[in-house]
Structure 1
Amino acid sequence: MSERKGARVKLREHFLNNIGRVMDSDELREVAGGITEWARRVRELRSEEGYQIQTHNDRGDLKPGQYILEDPKPIPAFERAISKEIRAYVLDRNGFTCQMCGAVAGETHPYDLRRKTRLHIGHIVDKSQGGTDDPSNLRAICSVCNEGASNLTLERPSNLKLLAQVRRAKGGDQVELLKWLVRKYPKQTEEFLDEKNT
C-alpha cells in the first residue's frame, strides 16, 4: 500500500473513530505517519470520498488548524474537474507564488525552512460552499498554508511598508531584489530606463 493511500486510510479510520471530536493539525499529522502531505489526504477524504470534515472555513467556532467530522455517512463526492490547462493557467497567472504567504514554488519556504515550497490549486470559495472550478475561483496556495499552519490570509503590504522593508535590508539583498524585479518586469524596466535617459 502506498504512503499516500496508507495515510488516507489511517486518517479516515481516525475521523470515523472520533466522530464529533475536534482534532488539531498536530494530531492528524501524527496519525498520517508524520507525512508533510497529510492535509492533502484530508482534502481527498472531503472531495473524493465525500466525508464532511469541517474546518474553520465551515464553522465559526473552529480555529485554523482544527477539524471535526460530525457525521460518518459521506455524501457524493465532487468530481475532480480542474484540467491540466486550467492548473497551468492559474499557476502562471499567480506567478507560481502562494497567494496567502507569498512563497515561491521550488524555493525554500520562508515559514518552514526544512522544505521547498510546493504549490497546489485551491478554491477561494470551497466547493462544499458552492464554489466552482472556474479559474476566477482558483488560486495557487502552498503546502504550508494549505495545511492550516498559516491558514489566515496575510494582508498584502502597502508600497510604503515594502519600501521600508527594502531600506532595512542589507545592500546585497537589495541588489538581489532589484535583479528579481528586472527579470519579472523587463518591459517596465526598459521603459523606466528610457524615460530616465531622456
Structure 2
Amino acid sequence: MESNRPKKGSKAKLREFFIAHVGEILDSSVLREVAGTSEWGRRVRELRGEEGMNIVTHNDRSDLKPGQYMLVNLKPLPAFERGISKETRAFVLDRNGFTCQMCGAAAGEPHPYDTSRKTRLHIGHVIDKSMGGTDDPSNLRAICSVCNEGASNLTLNRPDAIKLLAQLRRAPAKDQLDVLRWIVQKFPEQAKEILNQD
C-alpha cells in the first residue's frame, strides 16, 4: 500500500541526518548518499546560511579535514535570507567570464575534474556570510558546482602569465589556436588594437 505522505527533499534528509549525528564528523560521501543528489553541497550551505544550523568544515576548524562536516550543536546561528538579485547574478557571471574562479571551468563545457557532467556555475561568496561577508558584487564570484560542493577540494592559485605561457607552448597547435580564438572572442577590441600595431 502506497503512502500518501510527500517524499522528503534532500535538504530535509540532510537536516534530519545532521540532527541525529550532532557532534559527529560526517564525510562528504555519506552526506551525498543521504541527500541523494549531486547538489548536496548547496543544500548544506542552505542549512547553514538560511536555517542557521551550526555546521562547520575544515575552513572553520583545523581538526577537520577537507570533505568533513560537523553539526556542532543545536543552538541556531543567525540565518541569512537569499538576497542576491538576478541582475547581480548576471553581472557577476559576466564579470567573471562565465568561468569558475577556483578551477577555471567554463559554463556548459565538460568539467575538467568530473567529465561525467557539464560545468554548472553558481554564485559564491568570497567571505562567507557566516563570517560577516555581504551580497555586494565585490564579495561574490562565479564558482562551479564541483568546487562549490567541495568535491575536488581545490584552492588553486590563479596562474601568472609566465606559467600560462609555459603551458600554452607545450600544448598542440590545435589547442593553441582554440585558446587564441577564445581570447580574440573575449577581447575583440584589444585584439584589433594589437593587430593594427603591426
TM-score, normalisation: structure 1: 0.93
Distance 1:146 1:134, change over 3 A: same
7, 11, 30: which one aligns with 2:10: 7
Percent same amino acid at aligned positions?
A: 69
The one-letter code of the counterpart of 2:94 is: D
1:31 — aligned with what?
A: 34
- The answer on 1:175 being equivalent to 2:181 is no
Q: What's the offset of the Cα at 1:157?
A: 1.3
In structure 1, what is the equivalent of residue 136 of structure 2? 134
What aligned pairs does 1:1-198 form with structure 2 within 5 A after superposition?
1=6, 6-33=9-36, 35-196=37-198
Residue 96 of structure 1 and its aligned partner are, at CA, apart by: 0.8
TM-score, with normalisation over the residues of structure 2?
Answer: 0.93
How many angstroms does 1:45 deviate by? 0.8
- Distance in 2, matches of 1:75 and 1:55, equals 15
User: How big is the shift at 1:9?
Assistant: 1.1
The question of whether the paired residues in 2 share the 8 Å contact of 1:64 and 1:152 is answered with: no
- In the alignment, the residues of structure 1 paired with residue 9 and residue 82 of structure 2 have an alpha-carbon distance, to the nearest angstrom, of 21
Q: In 1, Cα distance between the equivalents of 2:166 and 2:183? A: 17
Give, in whole Å, the separation in 1 of the partners of 2:143 and 2:66: 16
Aligned residues: 193
Q: Partner letter of residue 136 of structure 2?
A: D
Following superposition, the deviation at residue 151 of structure 1 comes to 3.3
**Any idea what the Cα deviations from partners look like across 1:124-158, whole Å, max 9, x if unmatched?**
11111111111111111110001112334201112
Could you report, residue by residue, the CA deviation over 1:71-110 in whole angstroms, capped at 9, with x for unpaired residues?
1232342111111111111111111111100011111111
Provide runs of 4+ in structure 1 moved above 4 Å.
Answer: none
